[in-house]
Amino acid sequence: MQRIIDLHQHSHYSRATGKEATVEGMYKWSKIKGIDIIGTGDFTHPQWFAELKEKLQPAESGLFKLRDDIASRIDLEVHESCRNRDIRFILTVEISTIYSKNGKVRKIHQCIVVPSFEAASDIIAQLGQIGNLKADGRPILGLDSKRLLEITIKSNPDNLFFPAHIWTPWFGLFGSKSGFDSLEEAFEELTPDIKAYETGLSSDPRMNYRLSQLDGLTILSNSDAHSPQKLGREATIIDSDLSYEDIIDAIKTNDHRIVGTIEFFPEEGKYHYDGHRACLVRFSPEETKKHQGLCPKCHKPLVVGVENRIDELADRPADYMPDQPKKVQYIIPLPEILAEINKTRSTTSRKVLEHYDQVNKLFGNEFDVLRTVPLNVFNEHGFTTLAEAMDRLRRQDVILEPGYDGVYGVIKVFGESTKDIKNPPQLSLF
Ligand SMILES: [Zn+2]
Ligand SMILES: [Zn+2]
């Protein structure tokens, strides 16, 4: 049975997170979004760890569920159309390491997944000697990522370690500002112990296939949500048994049990293209090359985005595809689509929230709405614009304005006017 798994998110003990990032909030929004297996995040934080121990109970091997008395209370806050889904938790944490290697300061984020509270306790005990785990749900440690990998796998061979959002300029393993050019440079003789990596919102599998050094590794997509409303922004589809061992074995072998990923259009990421925000200059890597990397307005170096950085490290052409690529399904978060339909910029306006709730109630969880609910079902309920939007999304007939220099990209289904839905512009740049 195919399940949707999201391994990377944060609790309210991490910086810049919402108050709703509680165990209850994660459970509730996993149902609303349609996620089957959700990471706890932040297990190294002592208060969060205590909360997890109190509120979760063992389910299948290595997986946990919300305590029955809490679950039945939260279920009442969710529409019946979304209730019928078992949510499982898996223990996870993201660690930020800052260290110097080969004469450069490195800032790398990585995630650790463990099979039990005992396994988590052992990681906590070892990392607690290195730095402060109380200050932040995502602790910052002065520790070499290679050493963190070593600690993780020596502590328990069933633990999983994977580099997070590998292309983020400042915190990605391959980031242009403080990352590395290769896995070997970072992990040396332990490189074979890297079995998976997270693409992050600004890159997709197609872009990552261009690096032969990533061949054979499992591509994971996760939300990195700082509030439960953003859970499942991206996710991985897995067809394994419902047990920690089978899930992790699938990830470590990248076999048929890894079905594929649910992805943002990478253009939506805020460092997809190159450019200067202040000069209103947005360039593709080719255009940047033509201008020798300099801004035509202010003549200073352009801020280099993810697409360009991938081009720099890639040893394959942009249209390269492996023989058997995993399935990729692109999505736009439903609140963004509803905001466009309602002609508002805010995804949290009252109108959009009401509309979201109504769609949720009638058609089920967000992933079902985006991926599988038949178009005629929307039409039968009079949701014809939504049906048209879902048709376009599923055919990937959308308008992409790539993000650059810290400006989020804009992905639209209809373009400027929903009246003009029969003749939308295919691609609008500046
Ligand atoms: Zn991170
Ligand atoms: Zn400029």
Q: What is the pLDDT of residues 188-244, one digit of tens each?
A: 999 999 999 999 888 999 999 999 999 999 999 999 999 999 999 999 999 999 999
Q: Decide if 109 is inside a domain.
A: yes
pLDDT band at 84; cut points 50, 70, 90: confident
Phi-psi region of 188 (alpha: psi -120 to 50; beta: other; left: phi over 0): left
Looking at residue 176, what is its pLDDT?
A: 87
Identify whether residues 260 and 350 lie together within a single domain: no
Same domain, 240 and 344: no
Q: Which ligand is nearest to the CA of 172?
A: 1
What spacing in Å lies between the alpha carbon of 39 and ligand 2's midpoint? 41
Which residues are CB-neighbours of 115 under 8 A, at least 6 positions away?
A: 61, 62, 91, 156, 158, 159, 244, 245, 248
Same domain, 254 and 398: no
293 lies in a domain? no
Distance 287 CA to ligand 2 centre (A): 14
The arithmetic mean of pLDDT across residues 311-319, rounded, is 94
Q: Which two tokens stand for residue 275?
A: 């450019």
pLDDT higher than threshold 70 for residue 301: yes
Report pLDDT for 419. Answer: 43
383's tokens: 């949701």
Distance of alpha carbon 247 from alpha carbon 62, whole angstroms = 10
Residues 6 or more apart in contact with residue 381 via CB below 8 angstroms: 362, 363
Mean pLDDT of 358-367: 97
Q: Which residue has the higher pLDDT, 309 or 20?
A: 309
CATH at 258: 3.20.20.140
The pLDDT tens digits of the residues spanning 162-197 come to 999 999 888 999 998 899 999 999 999 999 999 999
The pLDDT of residue 19 is above 90: no
**What's the CA-to-centroid distance between 279 and ligand 1, angstroms?**
29
CA 166 to ligand 1 center in whole angstroms:
9
* pLDDT confidence of residue 416: 61
Task: Tell me which ligand sits closest to the C-alpha of residue 277.
Answer: 2
Same domain, 228 and 121: yes
The pLDDT of residue 36: 98
Which pTM does this prediction carry? 0.93
Which of the pair, 430 or 199, is modelled with greater confidence?
199
Together in a domain, 243 and 373:
no
Please tell me the predicted confidence (pLDDT) of residue 424.
35
Ligand nearest to the CA of 275: 2
Is residue 316's pLDDT more than 50?
Answer: yes
Expressed in angstroms and rounded, the spacing between residue 109 Cα and the centre of ligand 1 is 5
- For the CA of 274, the nearest ligand: 2
My answer on whether 188 and 93 are in the same domain is yes
Distance 13 CA to ligand 1 centre (A): 14
Ligand 2 centroid to residue 317 C-alpha, Å: 29
Q: How far is the CA of 164 from the centre of ligand 1 (A)?
A: 6
Q: Which ligand lies nearest the alpha carbon of 279?
A: 2
* 275 is a domain residue: no
Ligand nearest to the CA of 96: 1
Read off the tokens for 57: 């109970």
Same domain flag for 232 and 368: no
Among 247, 267, 287, where does a domain finish?
A: 267
Of the bound ligands, which one is closest to the alpha carbon of residue 283? 2
Does the pLDDT of residue 14 top 60, yes or no?
yes
Residue type present at position 260: G
Distance 117 CA to ligand 1 centre (A): 23
* Placement of tokens 């984020």 in the chain: 109
Q: Same structural domain for residues 127 and 207?
A: yes
Which whole number is the average pLDDT over 21-41?
97
Query: Ligand 1 centre from 84 Cα, in Å?
Result: 32
* CA 428 – ligand 1 centroid, Å: 31
Ligand approaching nearest to the C-alpha of 225: 1
Q: Angle 8-11-15 (CA atoms, 0-180°, nearest 5)?
A: 100
Same domain, 44 and 182: yes
- Between the CA of 398 and the centroid of ligand 2 the distance, in Å, is 29
| Nearest residue to 10 via CA among 223, 161, 170, 164 | 223
Distance set, CA 402 to CA 17, 282, 333, 375, 424 (Å): 26, 8, 16, 28, 17
pLDDT at 426: 33
> What's the 171 CA to ligand 1 centre distance in angstroms?
7
Whose atoms come closest to the Cα of 9: which ligand? 1
Ligand nearest to the CA of 291: 2
State the distance from the centre of ligand 1 to the C-alpha of 339, rounded, in angstroms: 27
Q: How far is the CA of 389 from the centre of ligand 1 (A)?
A: 31
| pLDDT for the residue numbered 86 | 95
* Dist CA 404 CA 270 (whole Å): 5
Centre of ligand 2 to C-alpha 322, Å, is 38
Strands (E), 334-409: 399-401
Rounded to the nearest whole angstrom, what is the distance from the C-alpha of residue 166 to the centroid of ligand 2?
Answer: 27
User: Does residue 401 belong to any structural domain of this protein?
Assistant: yes
Return the ligand number nearest the Cα of 173: 1
How far away, in angstroms, is 227 Cα from ligand 1 center? 14
pLDDT > 70 in the chain, percent: 97
Distance of alpha carbon 383 from alpha carbon 376, whole angstroms: 9
DSSP at 225:
B
Final residue in a domain of this structure, among 249, 267, 285: 267
> How confident is residue 17, by pLDDT bands cut at 50, 70 and 90?
confident
- CA 112 to ligand 1 centroid distance, Å: 12
Domain boundary among 267, 290, 324: 267
State whether 71 and 176 are in the same domain. Answer: yes
What are the C-alpha distances in Å from 43 to residues 9, 93, 116, 355?
11, 5, 11, 35
Query: Does 155 have pLDDT greater than 80?
Result: yes
Residue 303 lies in a domain: no
What Cα–Cα distance (Å) separates residue 185 from each residue in 126, 145, 189, 303?
Answer: 24, 11, 10, 24
How far does CA 263 lie from the centroid of its chain? Answer: 8
The answer to the question of residue 302 being in a domain is no
Model confidence at 423, in pLDDT bands (50, 70, 90)?
Answer: very low
Q: Give 95-129 pLDDT, tens digit per residue.
A: 999 999 999 999 999 999 999 999 999 999 999 99
| pLDDT score for 32 | 97
Q: Name the residue range of residue 412's domain.
A: 333-420
Does 237 lie in the same domain as 374? no
Q: Which ligand is nearest to the CA of 302?
A: 2
Alpha-carbon distances, residue 114 vs 3, 118, 154, 264, 406 (angstroms): 19, 9, 12, 27, 34
Ligand 2 geometric centre to CA of 284 (Å):
15
User: What does the mean pLDDT of the chain come to?
Assistant: 93
Specify the pairing of strand 3-6 against strand 37-39.
Answer: parallel
Domain count for the chain, please give it: 2
Tell me whether residue 353 is in a domain. yes
**Closest ligand by atom to 136 CA:** 1
Query: How close is the Cα of 427 to the center of ligand 2, in Å?
Result: 24
pLDDT attached to residue 199:
93
Residue 276 lies in a domain: no
- pLDDT at residue 273, as a whole number: 93
Given CA atoms 51, 56, 58, 64 in this order, what sign does their dihedral have? negative
Q: Are residues 154 and 230 in the same domain?
A: yes
